[in-house]
Every structure is written in C-alpha cells, then in structure tokens.
C-alpha cells in the first residue's frame, strides 16, 4: 500500500467514525445533523469506490456513478440553510443536479461495461475532465452561497441567543473556502500544469486535513443549540410569548407582587405556575427587559400613582419608594432615572409646579 492509499484509508476510517457518531448520537439537533451524516456517507462511499477501482481493473470503473460531486456539497448547503432558519420550499430541487450526474454516469458506466472500446473515445473527448470542471464550478458556486448563508446566521445569532460562543458556522465558512481553493488548484495545476506524484500527495494530504477539520467542528457543535428559527416560527413564538406576558401582567395587576421587596424570578415562577425560562424569554423578547427591570418598572409606575393621588403628600420620597417595594434608596433613584429620564426629586418638583 503506497502513501496515497494510506491517506485514503485514514480518511475512510475517519469518515466512518464520524458518520456513526452523527447518526447514533441522540441530540435535539438530529434533524439537522443528519445532513452532516449524509456528507460523510457520500465521502465514505467514494473512498470505498477508490479501493474497488484498485482491485477491479476495468475501464468502466472510471465512470462508476457513485462520485457525488453534485450531491455532497448540497447536503452542506441544506445544513447551513436550516441552521440559519432559511425556509426551504422544495428540498427535492437540491438533488436534481445529483440525479442528472448519476443518470449520465450510469449510462456511460453500462456502455463501457458492454463495450470497453467506448472508454478510448471518452478519453479522446476528455469526458472526465469536462465533468470534473463542471462539478468544480458547481461546488464553488454552492460554497459561495453557503458562505453568504453563514454570514446571515452570524448576524442573527445575537438576536436569538444571549451567549453566542461556539454557535457560529465559521468552521463551515473555512471549509468552503478550502474547497474553493482546492478545486481551483486541482484544475490550474493538476490538469494544466501537469500532474506529479508529489503534488497528488499534497492534494490528498490537504483534503485529509479539511475532512479532519470538519469532523472536529461537527462533533463540537453536535448538541449546541445554534438554530435560528424561521420567520413563521418567530411569529408563532412571538404570539405565544405575548400570551405569556399578558398572563404575567394580569397576575401582577391582581396580586401586586411587585410590592414585595424580596420578589425574585424563581419564587414568582412558582406563584404564577409558569417556567422561569418562559417568563424571562417573554419579558426579554416583548419588552426588551430582564425580570428585575420589568418589576422595577411596575414599582416606578406605582410610585408615580401614589404621588399623584395626594394620599402620600406627607411621606418622603424614600418612604414612598419603600412602600412600592424598593429595598434601598440608591436602587430606587437609579431605576427611577433610567425609566423616567429624570431623578425622583426633579419629577416631584415638576409635578407640584
């Protein structure tokens, strides 16, 4: 076994391990990870075909319809689209180029099996060179589209996730750039400049590194929630969150829970019987506040109501602040100015003017 075969064997074992992990590991991203699994299945199949061609010495093996040049990159494209929350209207349309590729190669494969002399004609007309050029153009085009989708995903991450660490698809962008460089290199140097064993080994080595890179990245993100919801999901989610926020508002108005200086998210969630995460999400997405700020806004409004009612004219500002749930004067002054725009003392003067 020569060096090139050794590299392909390592690549084959690597792809086998990762595809087993992607299909057998249970996570909340199985519906997305399956596309990465399909990528490694096609790569593994192509490696098996490579070794079969070494054993079966027949011209037809040059045209075996299991290349997947027009299929593998589409699985990555679908993975990127679905992760970025882009709605895919017709997934079957993504497979049309691969179906055409398979059909053409199948007819050629059968033709060469029946008449091996057909191989000489195909070599003369540079059939494989033309198909490789077409596939490279296609791969480069899809890689550019994937990079654009990844940029969209990166821009939307901060909107949907507080912590964006390890959630971006930068690894996929790097892989696509590597694919573009490798495809350009293959045609400019290997086909035009002359193919040498050394250059072929370098090409295989870089391909191995790229596959190793995407393998590690796939494992790192296998269970990381980085999927951007689609517009429909966002609208449905917003509608649900508005319902939750409405229930929170009704409960606060009825029970005046905000007057309790010891109120916190955990206790409030138990009282209202709504999960903490749903409360935080509803307040954050609809009112752009955290739970503490949200409660303090109710306290400030109650302070303003008591002040304007005239019932607390003889009370000091600090006393009224304590009455509405603020545990300290500093906290009250800070929150009042942030919410109203002026300090409590200025507000009182303007009210009595």
Per-residue pLDDT of 79-122, as tens digits, reads: 999 999 888 888 999 999 999 999 999 999 999 999 999 999 99
One domain, residues 124 and 38: yes
Q: How many angstroms separate the CA atoms of 209 and 174, rounded?
A: 12
pLDDT for residue 219: 85
**Which range, of 51-65, 180-194, 330-344, averages the lowest pLDDT?**
180-194
**Residue that finishes a domain, picked among 174, 191, 220:** 220
Residue 281 has pLDDT above 80, yes or no: yes
Among residues 220, 249, 274, the one where a domain terminates is 220
**Total domains, the chain:** 2
Same domain, 305 and 212: no
Q: What angle do CA 80, 86, 89 make, to 5 degrees?
A: 110
- Residues 19 and 58 grouped into a single domain: yes
Alpha carbon distances (Å) from 162 to 165, 246, 284: 9, 23, 11
Residue 151 and residue 248 in one domain: no
Confidence at residue 199, expressed as pLDDT on a 0 to 100 scale:
67
Considering only residues 171 and 191, tell me which one the structure prediction assigns the higher pLDDT.
171
User: Within a 13 Å sphere around the CA of 311, how many CA atoms are in the beta-carbon half?
Assistant: 8
Model confidence over 300-316: pLDDT tens digits? 999 998 888 877 777 88
Does the residue 225 lie in any domain? no
- pTM equals 0.69
Q: Within 10 Å of residue 161's Cβ, how many Cβ atoms? A: 14
**pLDDT-based confidence at 77, cuts 50/70/90?**
very high
- 177 with 271, same domain: the answer is no
By the 8 A CB rule, do 84 and 90 touch?
A: no
| pLDDT tens digits along 232-263 | 666 767 788 899 999 999 999 899 999 999 99
Question: Does any domain span residue 152?
Answer: yes
Q: Quote the CA–CA distance of 84 and 78 in Å, as a whole number.
A: 10
DSSP state of 254: H
User: Is residue 226 one of the residues assigned to a domain?
Assistant: no
Percent of the chain with pLDDT over 90: 46
Range of the domain at 289: 231-352
Single residue among 220, 247, 269 that ends a domain in this structure: 220
Residue 186 is predicted with a pLDDT of 75
Can you tell me the distance from the alpha carbon of 119 to that of 117, in angstroms, rounded to the nearest whole number? 5
Residue 74 has pLDDT above 90, yes or no: yes
Question: Tell me: the pLDDT tens digits for 161-180?
Answer: 878 888 999 999 999 999 99
pLDDT of residue 206: 79
Q: What is the CATH number of the domain that holds 319?
A: 1.10.10.60
Condensed to tens digits (0 to 9), the pLDDT of residues 110-141 reads 999 999 999 999 988 889 888 988 999 999 99
What pLDDT score was predicted for residue 190?
57
Q: What is the pLDDT of residue 168?
A: 93
Give the per-residue pLDDT at 189: 64
Which of 37-51, 155-169, 230-244, 288-302 shows the lowest mean pLDDT across its residues?
230-244
Give the residue among 231, 74, 81, 223 at the shortest CA–CA distance from 152. Answer: 81
Query: Is 267 in the same domain as 189?
Result: no
User: Are both 67 and 184 inside the same structural domain?
Assistant: yes
Return d(Cα 251, Cα 139) in angstroms, integer. Answer: 56
**What is the arithmetic mean of pLDDT over 138-154?**
96
pLDDT at 40: 92
Residues 199 and 291 in one domain: no
């Amino acid at each position: 076994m020569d060096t090139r075969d050794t590299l392909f064997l390592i690549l084959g074992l690597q792809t086998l391990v990762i595809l087993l992990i992607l299909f057998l590991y249970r996570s909340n991203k199985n519906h997305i990870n399956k596309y990465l699994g399909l990528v490694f299945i096609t790569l593994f199949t192509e490696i098996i075909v490579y070794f079969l061609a070494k054993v079966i010495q027949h011209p037809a093996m040059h045209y075996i319809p299991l290349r997947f040049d027009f299929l593998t990159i589409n699985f990555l494209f679908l993975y990127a689209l679905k992760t970025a929350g882009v709605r895919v209207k017709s997934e079957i349309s993504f497979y049309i180029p691969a179906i055409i590729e398979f059909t053409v190669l199948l007819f050629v494969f059968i033709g060469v099996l029946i008449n091996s002399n057909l191989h000489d004609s195909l070599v003369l007309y540079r059939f494989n060179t033309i198909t490789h050029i077409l596939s490279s153009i296609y791969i480069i085009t899809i890689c550019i589209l994937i990079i654009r989708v990844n940029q969209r995903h990166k821009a939307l991450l901060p909107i949907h996730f507080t912590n964006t660490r390890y959630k971006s698809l930068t690894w996929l962008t790097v892989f696509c750039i590597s694919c573009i460089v490798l495809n350009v290199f293959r045609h400019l140097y290997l086909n035009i400049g002359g193919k040498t064993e050394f250059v072929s080994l370098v090409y295989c080595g870089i391909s191995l590194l790229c596959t190793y890179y995407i393998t590690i990245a796939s494992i790192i993100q296998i269970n990381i929630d980085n999927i951007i919801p689609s517009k429909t999901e966002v609208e449905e989610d917003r509608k649900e969150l508005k319902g939750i926020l409405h229930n929170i508002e009704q409960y606060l108005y009825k029970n005046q829970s905000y007057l309790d200086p010891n109120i916190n998210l955990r206790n409030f969630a138990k009282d209202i019987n709504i999960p903490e995460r749903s409360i935080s999400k509803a307040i954050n997405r609809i009112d752009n506040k955290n739970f503490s700020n949200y409660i303090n806004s109710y306290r400030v409004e109650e302070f303003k109501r008591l002040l304007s009612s005239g019932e607390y004219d003889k009370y000091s500002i600090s006393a009224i602040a304590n009455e509405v749930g603020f545990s300290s004067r500093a906290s009250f002054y800070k929150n009042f100015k942030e919410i109203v725009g002026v300090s409590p003392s200025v507000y009182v003067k303007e009210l009595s003017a």
